[in-house]
């Protein structure tokens, strides 16, 4: 008998779901049966993913959401409830990063990285919390990064923002566990997405970078989406406040 993850009847929101890891996650949650709200600043890409999901026979909507704006994240949650009746799963995936030495970064660069990556996660989490608390069920999965665990040169402010998301994950887990809400993080290594292409090419290409990884390859979005699916499901019901690296063994810290 096969073991499978069944999210039938669940309602999920994926921020930054229009491309890359977010898109793959939205599709995988839908293949497990969840109705999905794809929330992205780029509405056209979010609409495309929603159409792909509806073609699977599962409910999907797209919202034009800038996670740096609290009111946008509140509207996103209202839209998901209007379409799918509830919100069980939030994947805080939207993030941006500036790839520069810190000495070359401007305050505008920091502001952008921290606003989207850290404040965006706070805004979306705050927006779902009352709903999840009232229904006494929730799964919040935050995208972190190995950069936020060990620090990466050329990604200093992004490392700081993701370190903030990691600490938030642990602290919020302790506040909301009593409401049957789990909060966990996934820390990818370099993953083959549109957003990472500039970094991969600038660092000499995927083959060169893969040499630093025990599994000798960079991640594909599905490698990350699989871990998110587990954390979004009841297979992980007794795990909260944890951060899981999905980085081919690049980091092996606890
Ligand atoms: N790709 C990697 O190598 C890598 C490594 C570690 C962690 N991560 C993390 O994984 C997540 C996804 O990364 P990716 O590589 O798929 O990114 P990506 O750049 O390919 O896609 C990001 C998506 O987020 C959307 N977005 C950007 N700013 C937004 C905002 N303010 N509001 C709403 N949506 C916004 C974009 O429109 C885009 O659709 C991020 O949290 C990232 O930090 C990625």
Model confidence at 151: pLDDT above 70: yes
Mean pLDDT, residues 134-156 taken together? 96
CA distance 88 to 72: 19
Identify the pLDDT of residue 20: 98
Phi then psi dihedrals of residue 209, to 5 deg: -65, -35
89 pairs with which residues across the strands? 12, 139
Q: Which atom of ligand 1 is nearest to the CA of 200?
A: 3
Say if ligand 1 is within 6 A of residue 248 CB.
Answer: no
Phi and psi based region of residue 36 (left: phi greater than 0; alpha: psi -120 to 50; beta: remaining)? beta
Say if ligand 1 is within 6 A of residue 166 CB.
Answer: no
Query: Which of 14, 16, 69, 74 has most ligand 1 atoms within 8 Å of CB, for mutation?
Result: 16
Mean pLDDT, residues 113-121 taken together? 98
Average pLDDT, the chain: 97
The least confident of 26-40, 107-121, 127-141, 240-254 is: 240-254
Phi then psi dihedrals of residue 24, to 5 deg: -60, -40
245 pairs with which residues across the strands? 187
Strand segments, DSSP code E, in the chain are 11-15, 35-40, 60-64, 89-92, 138-143, 181-188, 243-246
Q: Which domains does the chain have, with CATH numbers?
A: 11-246 (3.40.50.720)
Query: Which of 37, 95, 248 has most ligand 1 atoms within 8 Å of CB, for mutation?
Result: 95
Choosing from 158, 213, 238, 250, which is the catalytic residue?
158
Q: Is the pTM of this model over 0.85?
A: yes
Model confidence at 73: pLDDT above 80: yes
CA distance 71 to 14: 17
- What percent of the chain shows pLDDT beyond 70? 100
Model confidence at 53: pLDDT above 90: yes
- Say whether 235 sits in a helix, a strand or coil: helix
Confidence bin at 182 (pLDDT 50/70/90): very high
Say if ligand 1 is within 6 A of residue 84 CB.
Answer: no
Residue 49, H or E segment: helix 43-54
* 17 alpha carbon – ligand 1 mean position (Å): 8
Say if ligand 1 is within 6 A of residue 19 CB.
Answer: yes
CA distance 83 to 105: 42
Phi and psi based region of residue 73 (left: phi greater than 0; alpha: psi -120 to 50; beta: remaining)? alpha
The greatest distance separating any two alpha carbons of the chain, rounded to the nearest whole angstrom, comes to 57
* 213 alpha carbon – ligand 1 mean position (Å): 21
Residue 162, H or E segment: helix 156-176
Q: Is 119 a catalytic residue?
A: no
Say if ligand 1 is within 6 A of residue 41 CB.
Answer: yes
Question: What is the DSSP-derived secondary structure letter of residue 196?
Answer: G
Whose CA is closest to 124, among 91, 153, 148, 168?
91
Identify the pLDDT of residue 254: 60
Q: Which atom of ligand 1 is nearest to the CA of 115?
A: 31
């Amino acid at each position: 008998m096969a073991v499978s993850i069944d999210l039938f009847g669940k309602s999920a929101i994926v921020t930054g779901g229009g491309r890359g890891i977010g898109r793959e996650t939205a599709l995988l949650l839908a293949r497990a049966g969840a109705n999905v709200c794809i929330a992205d600043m780029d509405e056209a890409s979010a609409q495309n993913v929603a159409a792909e999901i509806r073609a699977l026979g599962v409910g999907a909507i797209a919202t034009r959401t800038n996670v740096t704006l609290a009111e946008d994240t509140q509207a996103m949650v209202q839209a998901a409830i209007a379409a799918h009746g509830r919100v069980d799963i939030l994947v805080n995936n939207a993030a941006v990063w500036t790839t520069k030495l810190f000495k070359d970064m401007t305050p505008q660069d920091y502001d952008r990285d921290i606003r989207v990556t850290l404040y965006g996660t706070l805004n979306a989490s705050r927006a779902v919390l009352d709903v999840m608390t009232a229904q006494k069920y929730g799964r919040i999965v935050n995208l972190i990064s190995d950069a936020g665990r060990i620090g990466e040169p050329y990604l200093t402010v992004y490392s700081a923002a993701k370190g903030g998301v990691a600490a938030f994950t642990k602290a919020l887990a302790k506040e909301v566990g009593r409401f049957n809400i789990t909060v966990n993080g996934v820390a990818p290594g370099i993953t083959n997405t549109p957003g990472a292409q500039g970094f991969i090419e600038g660092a000499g290409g995927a083959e060169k970078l893969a040499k630093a990884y025990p599994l000798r390859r960079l991640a594909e979005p599905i490698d990350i989406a699989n871990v998110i699916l587990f954390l979004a499901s009841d297979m992980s019901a007794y795990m909260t406040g944890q951060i899981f690296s999905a980085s081919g063994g690049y980091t092996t810290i606890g």
